[in-house]
């Protein structure tokens, strides 16, 4: 089996961690290819909840080699904090590999993330404040600091001084903040060099060799399609390529090596941060989804905005990512309703749009056109085959499958690791 990508189909938090965890035991490597500690995977194993932000969720699967690819941005404090926490709970993290080319989130980029957001006022993105955007901006303007720079003191100093030469002007003159001392930043970064050194590798070479040897690689996307810097609801997006295309770049493998693309979609929709969200509910139903689905951010604790399933959004995700299989998560959260509305198209100024409008203004003004599907009352958390589901729940899944036009291979019916129905094998 070649490489398999797991990508979010909506605005993140779809339960990718669970899908990765499910496929993980069949994989030899699990690679995080984009984003940083803005992500939040919650995985429940034997009643224990693990919230991961930076580490790939494959870290929890014995025998799997977890890899942080070159497309990721790394906050070293967070890295070691997560490693220490897992070690304290008896999880072995010694197999972790980190790309020498991954960029580092320096402390000044966290500062800049926060001050820029404040400066944007009403136009705020609602970032996680973890320094993600400014670090990717540095990468693109070629003033970033990479993991490999930690091992060359003179280069590290030059690069930090170079980056701060501009930023200090900005901080002092525009944002009215104190200048940052390059020597202090260098000292902060150097303090981590020795500990990170044994984890650092040419991960692109290793992954390609592994594929040549017939190994299975899972490429785990952070954030999601609608937060992708190119294909999401720009500018209300993250700063990396979260889509399947970004998996090849962010891991250092050729696109032709990707055999399957699994999109994870919630049975309803959520979003954190600002930006358009056509099916958002501002009423009791939204509250009910939030409470039943525990929709609070893993990274920031912010309440997530909640709404009904949006077919054009997931169909768009299927197209942009070349999705072969969908993992539909949290179906159990919809239990207990007479009807479950599903958005099938939008009305924009009196015109029907069956597909996601290309114009951002149209997405802002899109009014969902709903089809009301039958709901179900019975508890479905114990269902392990399609036949265990009430007829209406089965019909809900089949209708989404037909409308999106991509097979739904996995259905999540509860938070536990085994609370899934496998409708089609992904790995064979
Ligand atoms: P940033 O990634 O911190 O720059 O934030 C940009 C946007 O992406 C904000 O709306 C965040 O709330 C959102 N975001 C970033 N990471 C995640 C995630 O893992 N799940 C959901 N939303 C996210």
Q: What is the DSSP string of 331-396?
A: GGGG-S-SEEEEEEEEEETTEEESS--SSHHHHHH-EEEEEEEE---S--TT--SGGGS-HHHHHH
Lowest mean per-residue pLDDT among 63-72, 267-276, 413-422: 413-422
**pLDDT at res. 22:** 78
131 CB within 6 A, ligand 1? no
**Would you state the pLDDT for residue 72?**
98
Return mean pLDDT, the chain.
95
318 lines ligand 1 (CB under 6 A): no
Q: Is 329 in the pocket of ligand 1 (CB under 6 A)?
A: no
Residue 41 has pLDDT above 80, yes or no: no
Q: Which of 45-59, 143-157, 180-194 has the lowest mean pLDDT?
A: 45-59
Please work out whether the CB of residue 409 comes within 6 Å of at least one atom of ligand 1.
no
pLDDT band for position 58 (cuts 50, 70, 90) = confident
Enzyme catalytic residues:
13, 41
**Closest residue (by CA) to atom 10 of ligand 1?**
273
Which residue's alpha carbon is nearest to atom 11 within ligand 1? 127
Measured between alpha carbons, how far is residue 39 from residues 51, 72, 172, 184, 344 in Å? 10, 11, 31, 28, 29
- pLDDT of 332: 98
Q: What is the pLDDT of residue 428?
A: 65
Query: Which of 227, 232, 246, 274 is the best mutation target for the ligand 1 pocket, counting ligand atoms within 8 Å of the beta carbon and taking the most?
Result: 227
SS3 407: coil
Ligand 1 centroid–CA 129 distance in Å is: 9
Does position 184 have pLDDT exceeding 80, yes or no?
Answer: yes
What whole-number distance in Å separates Cα of residue 115 and Cα of residue 133? 12
The secondary element (H helix, E strand) that includes residue 286 is helix 284-292
Of the pLDDT bands very low, low, confident and very high (cuts 50, 70, 90), residue 51 is confident
Average pLDDT of 96-109?
A: 97
Residue 410 Cα to ligand 1 middle (Å): 25
Instruction: Look at residue 427 and tell me whether its pLDDT is greater than 90.
Output: no
**Predicted pLDDT of residue 62:** 87
Its pTM stands at 0.95
Selection from 193, 130, 137, 138 nearest residue 160 by Cα? 138
pLDDT per position as a tens digit, 391-424: 999 999 999 999 999 999 999 999 887 899 999 9
How high is the pLDDT of residue 118?
Answer: 87
pLDDT, tens digit (0-9, with 9 covering 90-100), for 191-250 = 999 999 999 999 999 999 999 999 999 999 999 999 999 999 999 999 999 999 999 999
Instruction: Please count the other Cβ atoms lying within 10 Å of the Cβ belonging to residue 425.
Output: 9
Q: Is the Cβ atom of 273 under 6 angstroms away from ligand 1?
A: yes
């Amino acid at each position: 089996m070649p490489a398999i990508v797991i990508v979010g189909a909506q605005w993140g938090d779809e339960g990718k961690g669970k899908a990765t965890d499910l496929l993980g035991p069949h994989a030899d490597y699990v690679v995080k290819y984009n984003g940083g500690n803005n992500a939040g995977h919650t995985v429940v194993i034997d009643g224990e909840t693990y919230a991961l932000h930076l580490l790939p969720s494959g870290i929890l699967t014995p025998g799997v080699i977890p890899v942080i690819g070159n497309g990721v941005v790394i906050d070293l404090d967070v890295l070691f904090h997560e490693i220490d926490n897992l070690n304290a709970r008896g999880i072995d993290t010694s197999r972790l590999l980190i790309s020498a080319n991954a960029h580092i989130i320096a402390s000044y980029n966290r500062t800049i993330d926060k001050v820029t957001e404040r400066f944007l006022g009403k136009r705020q993105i609602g970032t996680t404040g973890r320094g993600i955007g400014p670090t990717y901006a540095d990468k693109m303007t070629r003033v970033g600091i990479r993991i490999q720079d930690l091992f060359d003191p003179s280069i590290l100093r030059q690069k930090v001084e170079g980056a701060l030469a501009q930023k200090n002007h900005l901080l002092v003159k525009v944002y009215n903040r104190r200048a940052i001392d390059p020597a202090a930043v260098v000292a902060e970064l150097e303090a981590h060099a020795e500990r990170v050194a044994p984890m650092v590798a040419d991960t692109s070479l290793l992954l390609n060799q592994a594929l040549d040897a017939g190994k299975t690689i899972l490429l785990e996307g952070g954030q999601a399609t609608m937060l992708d810097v190119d294909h999401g609801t720009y500018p209300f997006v993250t700063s990396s390529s979260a889509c399947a295309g970004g998996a090849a770049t962010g891991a250092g493998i050729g696109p032709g090596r990707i055999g399957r693309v699994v999109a994870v979609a919630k049975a309803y929709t959520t979003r954190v941060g600002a930006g358009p969200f056509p099916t958002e509910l501002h009423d009791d139903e939204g509250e009910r989804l939030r409470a039943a689905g525990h929709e609070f951010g893993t990274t920031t604790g912010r309440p997530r905005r909640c709404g009904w399933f949006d077919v054009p959004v997931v169909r768009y995700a299927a197209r942009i990512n070349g999705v072969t299989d969908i993992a539909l998560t949290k179906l159990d959260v919809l239990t207990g309703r007479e009807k479950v509305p599903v958005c099938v198209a939008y009305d924009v100024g009196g015109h029907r749009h069956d597909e996601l409008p290309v114009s951002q203004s149209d997405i802002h003004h899109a009014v969902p056109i709903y089809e009301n599907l039958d709901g179900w009352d019975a508890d479905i958390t114990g269902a392990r085959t399609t036949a265990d589901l009430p007829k209406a729940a089965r019909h809900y899944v089949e209708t989404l499958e037909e409308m999106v036009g991509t097979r739904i291979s996995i259905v999540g019916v509860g938070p536990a690791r085994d609370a899934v129905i496998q409708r089609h094998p992904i790995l064979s």
